[in-house]
Amino acid sequence: MIHIKAEGLRGAANVLSHNGRNSLTAMFANDETPLGKGYAVYCLFEDKGEKDIKIVRAQLEPGNELEFPSLTPLFPAAAWYEREIYDLFGIKPLEHPDLRPLVLHEGFPKEFYPMRKTIPCDSHVAGKRDYPLAKAQGEGLFEVPVGPIHAGIIEPGHFCFSQAGEAVLQLDAKLFYTHRGIEKAVEGKSIGGALFMVERICGACSVANAVSFCQAVEKLSYAKVPRRAELTRVVIAEMERLYNHVGDTGNLCAGAGFTVPNAMGARLKEELLRCNEKIAGNRFLRGMIVPGGIHRTLKDEDAKIILAQLTRTENDYRLLTQVLNGQDGFLNRIQKTGIVRKKTAIDLAMVGIGARASGVGRDARKDLAYGIYSELAFDICTETAGDVEARLLVRIKEVAETIKIIRQALSLLAHEPETSICSEKLECRSYEGAWGISESARGSDLHWVMLDEQQNIYRLFVRSASYPNWPALPIAMQGEIIPDFPLVNKSFELCYACLDR
Amino acid sequence: MLKLIESILAGRIQTEEIDTVGSAAYRGELATRPSQCIECGKCLSACPVGAISLSRRKLPCIDYKKCVFCGKCAEACAEGTLSHTNLDAMPVITSQNNTEIGRLINAAHTRSLHVRHLDAGSCNACDFEMAALTNPVYDLHRYGISFVASPRHADMIMVTGVVTRNLAEAVLMTYEAMPEPKLVMAVGACAAGGATYGETYALIGALDKILPVDILVPGCPPRPSAMLIALLAASDLYKQRCRLSPFHGEAD
């Protein structure tokens, strides 16, 4: 970690980014005033070459103005992180081109900075602030507001379309409706108490969030996760990816009103969720991952259940993809729709399927080689077109890779002599930061944890996979028509809950 | 096209009857064996949401509004007093007389129910389970129940998630947009109990803090089977409500 003064942030970030080759993984602030160190802004850059994340910590001297030079003019990916820092901490990024509120909506008072340590977690506040949306104005232009309560069974978000006739000229998304203050809620909680909430940040990424959080805690303790636990984590995490990808393939078809494959996808997902319940006691695999290892081992019977399910899923999913390929009307809807160019994907430091469909082969399982993924044979699937079809194709290819990974992990697990599934009681270092990362179904999911001397959470920062990909959606929609919005939106299938926390 | 027709014809009928029994590993409703309880109180401290209290006879009582079915209490219980069964915890009707669920299910087939989903701040697990109700396995439409696009078309809102400050206004506006008579269902531990994330600056709390709740569905998330039972009970409840409503007069 590099320690610098806030004034030097741009220079240090430039060095760590390696001329833009290392992408900005995350940026967040930490209130370290109770430790006598004032506020600090952390920037994380992913170094693919060294399979590591490089961190720069910019110190805001106590007593000085709470401000630092914005990185957004250099790295567009920093825009939302810095808006969030300003919203939650009141630390101002200087020269930021767009400092509108992001996380806290109209119902919060002005100058209320909840993540400061002086603000109690349960403060009951009420007030009024402005939350302006970006709108295009001019003769003949009109506005179509949608949400936050939508027509389907989906999460809440408000979308403001500025229209020039049929074409979307500009789209601004107002998100963070489900902001529950989880990062604040876990402060002062024990590791186990925090894990319980971390698993409930998001339903569809429960396992990914739990794995990232546990990895960060394990790094603080030098705990060695038993090999059996690592293998089981792979199986559980890939089962999560599998049910997401299969369900999302079906959901994407709903975006085009194509009901037969939509129903097929929903049925296949249901089978996988039932399989999850059989092996973990919960359809969303909650309660399996614990710091230091796993909660219960997968027995031979469990492996048999999974393997039988994989064969069924593989066959039925193949039929589903064949149905899609044979429909010219459907292909016509998804080709050249919602394009994200490769340069945009790099500029926004996109992750997951969003990045891989635009030709950026990022995958935390390879790039950072966490757990035992380096021992498993699998490919990173990419496409170059960056449209809805590309994201669908990446998803389809990844289903096959995921099934391959689960089979490998199960066969290694069957021959694993070690019986321990969780390392002994964790002794963690206090007031030191550590990151954990895992590849969720939507992309890399990063957690950064700092503990206090009682081994309770001092600061947890969560950057889910959806965070860097959300800003790409309005860009993908430019020039498209509103009826294609559900299709483009579902091709990314981003979580709102993960983003909002 | 041939492939499409073939896939439709090849599929067997997938729809199932409601089954509230989960797989053997499923963490469902808790069973208590009072004779074995040594009143150690370990379950109280193990529960992350404070859903357990002791009865006057010092036996653990579970508040299913708050319970997230995480299994921590059963693990902490040394004597095996508490254990998870593999049964869905049943929905609770809070507003009317508590009639027997089984009778309600039989009576429910006579009235359709139009439902609007409303996410008040959920983690999306309940939402995904709700979406699963429309899949071919649960096939909600066979009961005359369907999800509608607007609260103006809805007899009931199914609310998921603990109410956040950012969504409170939208929740109230959605409720107000519904025509009378109307029902409110709180789905899952967040909407029903509101204790999942404790109290934070961003949360209002359980749904009953801002809206009158008629039916609670326990679970984290409730399985689709539990939601189906709740919906069938709701459609019967709605029938009663219509008889009482001044807007409907002699109707029904």
**Which chain A residues contact residue B167 at CB under 8 A?**
148, 156, 177-178
Q: Do B114 and B224 fall within a single domain?
A: yes
Is residue B99 predicted with pLDDT exceeding 60? no
**Most confident listed range (A10-19, B50-59, B154-163):** B154-163
Q: What is the dihedral of CA A166, A167, A170, A174, to 10 degrees?
A: 50
Contact A267 B137 (CB under 8 A): yes
Facing A153 at nearest CB: one of B130, B150, B170: B130
pLDDT value for B249: 41
B4 within some domain: no
Per-residue model confidence as pLDDT tens digits over B78-91: 777 888 888 888 88
Sign of the CA dihedral A441, A313, B89, A288?
negative
The answer on pLDDT for B224 being more than 60 is yes
A182 touches chain B (CB under 8 A): yes
Return the residue of A nearest to B189 by Cα: A200
Contact at 8 Å (CB) between B201 and A119? yes
DSSP secondary structure, A448-481, as one string: EEEE-TTSBEEEEEEE-THHHHTTHHHHHHTT-B
Q: What pLDDT is stored for residue B244 in this prediction?
A: 58
Kindly report which listed range (A14-18, A73-77, A445-449) carries the lowest average pLDDT score.
Answer: A14-18
Given B14, B27, B200, which is nearest A282 (Cβ)? Answer: B27
Decide if B22 is inside a domain. no
Question: Higher-confidence residue: B75 or A81?
Answer: A81
Q: Do residues A484 and A337 touch, judged by C-beta distance below 8 A?
A: yes
> Given a cut of 70, is residue B103 above it in pLDDT?
no
In a domain, A473, yes or no: yes
The pLDDT of B36-52, averaged and rounded, is 85
**B131 and B64 in a common domain:** no
Token output for A183: 């990062």
A52 has which bridge partners? A47
Same domain, B139 and B43: no
Residue A131 touches chain B, beta carbons under 8 Å: no
Same domain, A186 and A91: no
Q: Which residues of A touch B201 (CB under 8 A)?
A: 112, 114, 119, 121-125, 181, 184
Same domain, B240 and B125: yes
Same-domain check for residues B235 and B148: yes
Please report whether residue B162 resides in a domain: yes
Mutate to test the interface with A, among B26, B124, B174, B220 (most CBs of A within 10 A): B124
Pull the structure tokens for residue A10. 């741009």
- Rounded to the nearest integer, the mean pLDDT of chain A is 91
B57 and B125 share one domain? no
Q: Indicate whether B67 and B138 sit together in one domain.
A: no
> pLDDT at position A326, please?
80
Helices (H) and strands (E) in chain B, counts: 8, 12
Query: pLDDT tens-digit profile of A215-237?
Result: 999 999 888 899 999 999 999 99
Q: How far is B250 from chain A (nearest CA, A)?
A: 32
B2 interface with A at CB cutoff 8 Å: yes
Q: Are A279 and B24 in contact (CB under 8 A)?
A: no
Please, which pLDDT band fits residue B251 given cuts at 50, 70 and 90?
very low
pLDDT at A136 over 90: no
User: CA of A177, closest CA in chain B: separation in Å?
Assistant: 5
Check residue B105 and report its DSSP letter.
Answer: H
- Cβ <8 Å between A180 and B135: no
Would you state the pLDDT for residue B248?
A: 44
Mean pLDDT of A473-499: 92
| CB-CB under 8 Å, A105 with B201 | no
User: Containing domain of residue B229, as a range?
Assistant: 92-244
CB-CB neighbors (< 8 A) of B170 in chain A: 148-149, 156, 177
**Average pLDDT for residues A333-358, to the nearest whole number?**
93
pLDDT per residue as tens digits for the range A408-440: 999 999 888 878 888 877 888 889 999 999 999
Residue A165 lies in a domain: no
Q: What is the mean pLDDT of residues A383-409?
A: 94
CB contact under 8 A, B202 and A180: yes
Sorting pLDDT into bands at 50, 70 and 90, what band is B100? low
B136 CB neighbours in chain A (<8 A) are 263, 266-267
Q: Are residues B128 and B159 in the same domain?
A: yes
CA–CA distance from B32 to each of A104, B82, B206 (Å)? Answer: 43, 5, 27
Residue A31's domain spans which residues? 2-132
- Tell me what pLDDT residue A85 has: 94
- Picking from A123, A260, A495, the nearest residue to B4 by CB comes out as A260
Do both A421 and A326 map to the same domain? yes
Among A105, A107, A260, beta carbon nearest to B8: A260
Could you tell me if residue A147 is inside a domain? Answer: no
Q: Find the CB nearest B121 among A151, A180, A263.
A: A180
pLDDT at B252: 37
Q: What is the CATH number of the domain that holds A370?
A: 1.10.645.10
Chain A: give the shortest CA distance to residue B9, in Å. 11
Mark whether A189 and A124 lie in a shared domain. no
Say if A274 is an interface residue toward chain B (CB within 8 Å).
Answer: yes
Domains contained in chain B, number:
2
Question: Which of A156-170, A399-413, B38-52 shows the lowest mean pLDDT across its residues?
Answer: B38-52
The answer to whether A178 and A201 have CB atoms below 8 angstroms apart is no
- Residues B179 and B225 grouped into a single domain: yes
Higher pLDDT, A180 or B183: A180
Give the pLDDT band (50/70/90) at residue B189: very high
Choose the closest CB to B166 out of A107, A263, A322: A107
Contact A149 B137 (CB under 8 A): no
Measured in Å, how far apart are chain A's first and last C-alpha atoms? 27
For residue B196, give the CATH number of its domain.
3.40.50.12280
Contacts of A180 in chain B (CB under 8 A): 121, 162, 164, 197, 200, 202-203
Are A326 and A426 in a shared domain?
Answer: yes
Q: How many CA atoms lie within 13 A of B71 on its CB side?
A: 16
- Does residue B102 register a pLDDT over 60? no
* Shortest alpha-carbon distance between residue B89 and chain A (Å): 14
Compare CB distances from A203 to B138, B174, B221 and report the shortest one's residue.
B221
Domain co-membership, B203 together with B109: yes
User: Residue B215 in contact with residue B186, Cβ under 8 Å?
Assistant: yes
Q: Which residues 377-406 in chain A show a CB within 8 A of chain B?
A: none
Contact A136/B at CB under 8 A: no
The two three-digit tokens of residue A377, written as one number: 């044979």
Closest C-alpha among A405, A399, A403 to residue A365: A405
CATH assignment at residue A106: 3.30.460.80
Of B124, B151, B174, the CB nearest to A204: B124
Residue B119 lies in a domain: yes
Nearest to A351 by CA among A435, A437, A442: A442
Average pLDDT estimate for A294-319: 91
Contact (Cβ atoms closer than 8 angstroms) between residue B222 and residue B126: yes
> Do A267 and A325 sit in the same domain of this protein?
yes
Quote the DSSP letter at residue B179. Answer: P
What pLDDT does B245 receive? 54
Q: Is residue A159 part of a domain?
A: no
Q: Of B7, B61, B68, which is closest to residue B198 (Cα–Cα)?
A: B68
Instruction: State the best of B123, B126, B146 to mutate against chain A, taking most chain A CBs within 10 Å.
Output: B123
Shared domain check, B182 and B79: no
Q: Which of residues 72-101 of B touch A (CB under 8 A)?
A: 72, 84
Nearest-CA distance A280 → chain B (Å): 7
3-state helix, strand, coil in chain A (%, to 5): 40, 20, 40
Domain-ending residue, one of A91, A106, A132: A132
What per-residue string of b and e applies to B129-139 under the rule 16 or more CB within 10 Å gives b?
Answer: bbbbbbbbbbb
Examine the domain organization and report whether B184 and B145 are in the same domain.
yes
DSSP alpha helix (H) spans, B11-97? 42-46, 72-76
- Asked if A292 and A424 sit in the same domain, the reply is yes
Do A301 and A403 lie in one domain? The reply is yes
What are the pLDDT digits (tens) for A140-186? 899 999 889 888 888 999 999 999 999 999 999 999 999 999 999 99
Q: Are residues A190 and A91 in the same domain?
A: no
- Which pair of tokens denotes residue B113? 């129910």
Structure tokens at B129: 């389970």
Asked, for residue A167, whether it belongs to a domain, the answer is no
Q: How far is B127 from A278, CA to CA, in rounded Å? A: 21
The pLDDT score that the predictor gives to residue B97 is 47
Q: How many domains does chain A have?
A: 2
3-state secondary structure of A123: coil
Residue A145 belongs to some domain of the structure: no
Say if residue A233 is in the same domain as residue A296: yes
* A189, A121: one domain: no
Contact list in B for residue A269 (CB cut-off 8 A) is 132, 135
- Calculate the average pLDDT of chain B: 83
Question: What is each CA distance from B92 to A22, A109, B55, B189, B237, in whole angstroms?
Answer: 54, 37, 20, 13, 12
B3, closest residue in chain A (CA to CA): A323
Task: Tell me, yes or no, if B16 comes closer than 8 A to chain A by beta carbon.
Answer: no
Contact list, A155 vs chain B (CB under 8 Å): 119, 122, 124, 127
**Does the pLDDT value for residue B165 go beyond 60?**
yes
Gap between the Cα atoms of A127 and A107, Å rounded: 6
Q: Hey, is the C-beta of A284 within 8 angstroms of any chain B C-beta?
A: yes
Q: Which residues of chain A neighbour B73 with C-beta distances below 8 Å? A: none
Token pair recorded at residue A19: 């001329």
Decide if A323 and B4 are in contact by the 8 Å CB cutoff: yes
Chain CA centroid to CA A165, Å = 34
> In chain A, which residues have their Cβ closer than 8 Å to the Cβ of B163?
none
What whole-number distance in Å separates Cα of residue B155 and Cα of residue B152?
Answer: 9
A contacts of B132 (beta carbons < 8 Å): 266, 269-270, 273
Among residues B84, B119, B146, the one where a domain terminates is: B84
Residue B185 forms part of a structural domain? yes
Please check whether residue B57 lies inside any domain of the structure. yes
Does A267 contact B at CB distance below 8 Å?
yes
In a domain, B23, yes or no: no
Q: Are A119 and A95 in contact (CB under 8 A)?
A: no
Q: Do B3 and A326 touch (CB under 8 A)?
A: yes
Q: Does A406 share its domain with A310? A: yes
Please tell me which residue of chain B has the smallest CA distance to A148. Answer: B170
What are the E-state strand segments in A341-463?
433-440, 443-451, 457-463
pLDDT of B14 higher than 90:
no
Do the chains contact at A203 and B124, CB–CB below 8 Å? yes
DSSP class of residue A1?
A: -
Q: What is the CATH number of the domain that holds B66?
A: 3.30.70.20
